[in-house]
Amino acid sequence: MAFGSFDSKGPGTTMSEINMVPLIDVMLVLLVIFIITAPLLSHSIRINVPQVTAQPVEQQPKVVDLAIDPSGAVFWNEQPVALEDLESRFAAEAGADPQPEVRIRADVETRYGELAQIMGAARRAGMKRLGFVTQPAPAAPAGKAAPALGG
C-alpha cells in the first residue's frame, strides 16, 4: 500500500512518515479493555477460617522385619519363628490400627517358593503393606558397564 502526498511535488513522491492514528486507536482500545477486566481478575471472597491450636498427631508406623536366611530359617524381628506360626502372627498384626508394614529381607540364595509361601500367608491373614529390603549394587568404575540382571 503506497502512501502519497497531496503536495505539488509530483505524482512520484511518497510520504516518509508513519501514520500513528490507527496505532494509537488500537492501543487505546486495548487500554480500555485492560482497565475493565483487571478488577475482575483479582476479585476474591473474604472468609474467616477457624483457628485451631491442636497439636498434630505424630504416630510412628510399626515395622515388622522378616528375614530369611539361605537355609530357609525365618526370623520375625530378629527372633526365630517356624513357618507354621507365621500366619497366626500375621493375623494378629493385621488387626492392629494402623497396620504395620512387613519388610522382607531375603538372602540372594533364598528359593522363590519359600518367599511365595510367606507372602501368601501374609495376604491370607490380611496384611496390606509388604515390602522388600534390597541393597544397592556397587557403583561401576568409570568406563565399565553395570552387570546385567541374572548374572
Q: Tens digit of pLDDT per residue, the chain (151 long)?
A: 555 556 556 566 676 788 889 999 999 999 999 998 887 777 677 777 777 777 777 777 788 899 988 888 899 998 999 888 888 899 988 888 788 889 999 888 888 888 888 899 999 999 888 888 888 777 766 666 666 665 5
For the chain, how many structural domains are there in total?
1
6 occurs within a structural domain: no
CA–CA separation, 55 and 53 (whole Å) = 7
Q: Do 72 and 114 meet the contact criterion of CB atoms below 8 Å apart? A: yes
pLDDT at res. 31: 95
pLDDT at 143: 61
Pairing of strands 130-132, 63-68: unpaired
Nine-digit cell at 90? 500375621
Supply the range of the domain harboring residue 117. 63-132
37 assigned to some structural domain: no
pLDDT of residue 3: 58
pTM above 0.85, yes or no: no
| Residue 75, phi then psi, degrees to nearest 5 | -125, 125
State the CATH number of the domain containing residue 114: 3.30.420.270
Helices (H) and strands (E) counted in the chain, each on its own, are 3, 5
Listed in sequence order, the DSSP H helices in the chain are: 21-41, 83-94, 112-125
Question: Does residue 33 belong to any structural domain of this protein?
Answer: no
Which element (helix H / strand E) includes 131? strand 130-132
Asked if the structure places residue 7 within a domain, the reply is no
Residue 25 belongs to a domain = no
What does the pLDDT read at residue 28? 95
Place of cell 479493555: 33
